[in-house]
Amino acid sequence: MKKYILIVAALFLLSIQNFGQVFGFYRTDSITVIDNILSTNDTLTLAWSGGLSHSEFSSIDIDLDGTLDLYVFDRVGHRFMVLKNNGIPNTVSYKNHWADDASFPGIGEWVLLEDYDGDGKNDIFHYWNGGISVWKNVSVPGTVQFTLTKSQLYSYYNPNTLVLYVSPADIPAISDIDLDGDLDILTFGFSSGCVEFHKNLSQENYGNNDSLEFVLITDNWGLFSEGVSLFDIGLGDSCDTGRHTGSNILAIDMNGDHDKDLVLGDAGGSNMAYLRNGGDTSFAQIDFVDPNFPQNNNSTLPINLTLFASAFYLDVNNDDKKDLLVSNSAPGNGETFESVWRYRNIGTTDIPDFKFAQNNFLQEEMIELGEGSYPVLFDYNRDGLMDLAIGNVTYFGLQGQVAVLRNIGSISQPVYELINRDMGSVGTQAIKNVAPTFGDMDGDGDVDMIVGETTGYIHYYENTAPVTPNSPAQFSLTSTQYFLIKENSFSTPFIIDLNMDGKNDIVCGGRLGKLNYYENTGTPTAPNFSSVPTISNLGNVNTVDPNFSSSGYSIPWFFTHNGKLELFLGSYSGKIYHYTDIYDGLNNIQPIFTWVSGIVGYYKDGVRSAVTVGDLNTDSYPDLIYGNLGGGVDLLFGEFAAIGIEEAGDPDQAFVIYPNPSFDQDVVYIKAKKELSFPVDIVVYDVAGRAVKYLKEFNIQQGINIHELSNGLYIFEMRYGNTLVSKLKFIKQ
């Protein structure tokens, strides 16, 4: 199996600081996961995909083989995934496809893929700065590539040309509304309950589809207005006053009369409404509203997704008929566990007829825990194999729980079996943000459980199972608000004998992004803790990323590698922080740990990261299981990956970048070792593989402004047309 390696740089500071071991990781799904709760021996085909909560769906032919694959964007953490369609007729069947993730730009709020230029390749439309940005799909067989073609769409509002406004909470309809061949846009106006129609003038002005020039035709398309809910749709409305702002819009022809009807989702309701267009392509007029779509003569289940549903129209089961996918579109609210509804189209694409098929599309094939995930490797049943527990933020918005996946494989080839979603009946405590940790707190030879939660308190669950081989843990709540230890909020405890006195202590993270150390001053069988930290701000660690948030949500994981204690920390930004030199030469706890990296393996997939570390394939390198706010987990196998700052690829390549490292300079230069007679396109990728800067037909004699780039490692990729000319590694510092 090919490895798609996430490279870790040994930064140039190696020359001036004593850095610890540098690790590299690559994503994999090579560990089998079986769900034995919902169905017997159900192998999860997308187990390690990271979960879904508030998702948006588009089609894309990722490898240009004629079969449409799936692009999924999740508003939680602005994550995305590309899933390869296995192409089985009349069957929903996808597999993970990480190979081309780095080719997609980093984006946020909402994303739709549509083909605006008629070349058969779907382009990217996404929210940006109160409007829409567009990336053209310029992929060729073997190379996936997008180029920024419009950083901001504009429309003529008469008398001014302004940014084509779209609210970050809404999803517009990007569709050929007037059926002239190019893509138009329907969107709710600013502080308005009425829909604006922005007509694309590409056909009128140029006779083709490849331009994106818009004019506002009307601010009251369809002559209707939306009030406080989808049950309050006013027909024939003049839209003279501002009303409820915004909804998600899907424009499709539901009845085969060759004009676009609407399916609307609203921020104030769980339903979606069907609005029939009784007009035509030149004059739309909504004349019928069904607020409980789809009803299908009462033979199907209408949409009911707690809050702010959004709908997407695409073929996901390879029957050449577009189906309906519906997801909750309001992060922080509503359903996150069974939050993707699929309606199978039993009609045709031209005249669809939707029948409810499932409420957990793709989620049924994932390790899916609702919202949030806090993974922990531990031996659940005393058989010498590492099992997996995963706490979460919440199921169904009500309470957090701890799931357990038992390892029924081997030490070198685990197989995980999901056997319980509420180990220890933690869910009955009605707490959220359940972060578990395991260790022997009472000296009886088995592992007990402590969980953190939203209030900042921690709670102790004693393991009452017999201390015998192959005996599954039985956790019983023994002490709430354990010794009154309390973090500011969102406590994340870790059990460890940090001072090496033979008694397990507690290190606790939390929302502030720091760690506190609580020493066990009791005995191995009768622990005792003060509610006041023994060491506040342990190691001077900090997971607050000021460019992201004032909160850090530090989640610690200590592990030993080559006899040395190391520390990984999850964070609100999703980065994984790495610290070392926990002890001095006399095994005393250091006042300041050595910072190695702000993003381990340059891997980040979502927000509110939590990691657990173990050697899952017995190759002596630490492996990661990575949780995120989306409610799933990713699997990363480790390998040593320290590299220098020499240029990537062929050492004899024709270019160098300087100064490298930049040493706080805002301009760098690329020098050709040989004369270059043509301009090149330059794409700059950050350490997570996201494109962060594009330079079209760039003359390399000019300097490149890097002021907006944060410190770190970057790859400068240089292309001429579809030909890769060079790759250069660069470090800004």
Residues 72-90 have pLDDT tens digits of: 999 988 899 999 999 999 9
| Tokens standing for residue 9 | 């740089």
DSSP character at residue 485 = -
Evaluate if residue 1 carries a pLDDT over 60: no
Q: What is the pLDDT of residues 553-612, one digit of tens each?
A: 999 999 999 899 999 999 999 999 999 999 998 999 999 999 887 778 667 889 999 999
In the chain the first and final C-alpha atoms are separated, in Å, by: 36
pLDDT at 19: 40
What residue type is 414 in one-letter code? P
Which among 635, 626, 490, 514 is positioned nearest to 579, based on CA atoms?
514
Tokens standing for residue 307:
């809050």
Does residue 7 have a pLDDT over 70? no
Degrees, nearest 5: CA angle 718-721-725: 30
Task: Determine the pLDDT at residue 616.
Answer: 97
For 515, half-sphere exposure in the C-beta direction (CA atoms, 13 angstrom radius) is 30
DSSP string covering 213-272, please?
A: -EEEEESSTBSEEE-SSTT-EEET----S--S--EEEEEE-SSSSSS-EEEEEETT-S-E
pLDDT tens digit string along 381-394? 999 999 999 999 99
| DSSP 8-state code for residue 560 | E
pLDDT at residue 141 greater than cutoff 90: no
Residue 305 pLDDT: 87
Q: Is the pLDDT of residue 237 over 80?
A: no
Give the span between the Cα atoms of 704 and 666, in whole angstroms.
8
Q: Mean of the pLDDT values across residues 683-699?
A: 74
pLDDT of residue 643: 34
Q: How much is the pLDDT for 663? A: 64
CA atoms of 126 and 179, how far apart (whole Å): 23
**Confidence at residue 702, expressed as pLDDT on a 0 to 100 scale:** 67
Q: How many residues does the chain have?
A: 733
Mean pLDDT on 123-150: 92
| 20, pLDDT greater than 60 | no
> What pLDDT is recorded for position 181?
95
SS3 103: helix
Q: Is 483 helix (H, G, I), strand (E, B) or coil?
A: helix
Residue 645 has pLDDT above 90, yes or no: no
Secondary structure element (H or E) that encloses residue 484, with its range: none
Look at residue 648 in the predicted model and tell me its pLDDT.
35
Is the confidence at residue 651, as pLDDT, over 50? no
Does residue 650 register a pLDDT over 60? no
Q: Which residue has the higher pLDDT, 674 or 398?
A: 398
Q: Is residue 344 a contact partner of residue 354, using CB atoms and an 8 Å limit?
A: yes
Start-end of H helices in 160-232: 202-206
548 pLDDT more than 80 = yes
**Whether the predicted pLDDT of 5 surpasses 50:** no
Q: Confidence band (pLDDT; 50, 70, 90) for 212?
A: very high
Task: Specify the higher pLDDT residue, 676 or 189.
Answer: 189
Mean pLDDT of 512-517: 98
pLDDT at position 334, please?
72
Question: What local confidence, expressed as pLDDT, does residue 373 receive?
Answer: 97
What band does 9 get if pLDDT is binned at 50, 70 and 90? very low
Residue 15: the pLDDT is 26
With a pLDDT cut of 90, the percent of the chain lying above it is 67
Is residue 399's pLDDT more than 70? yes
Name the β-bridge partners of 564: 561
**CA distances from residue 240 to 217, 243, 266 in whole angstroms, order as listed:** 16, 9, 21
Contact at 8 Å (CB) between 106 and 121?
no
Q: How far apart are CA 229 and CA 309, in angstroms?
A: 12
Over range 157-177, report the average pLDDT.
95
Amino acid at residue number 246: G
Mean pLDDT along residues 714-730:
77
- Looking at residue 258, its amino acid is H
Q: Enter the DSSP assignment of 289.
A: E
Band (727; pLDDT cuts 50, 70, 90): confident
pLDDT at 349 over 70: yes
Over residues 417-454, the pLDDT tens digits come to 999 999 999 999 999 999 999 999 999 999 999 999 99
Both tokens of residue 392? 């979460």
- pLDDT exceeds cutoff 70 at 269: yes
What pLDDT score does 695 carry? 77
Average pLDDT, the chain: 88
| pLDDT band (50, 70, 90) for residue 678 | low
The answer, yes or no, to whether residue 4 has pLDDT greater than 50, is no
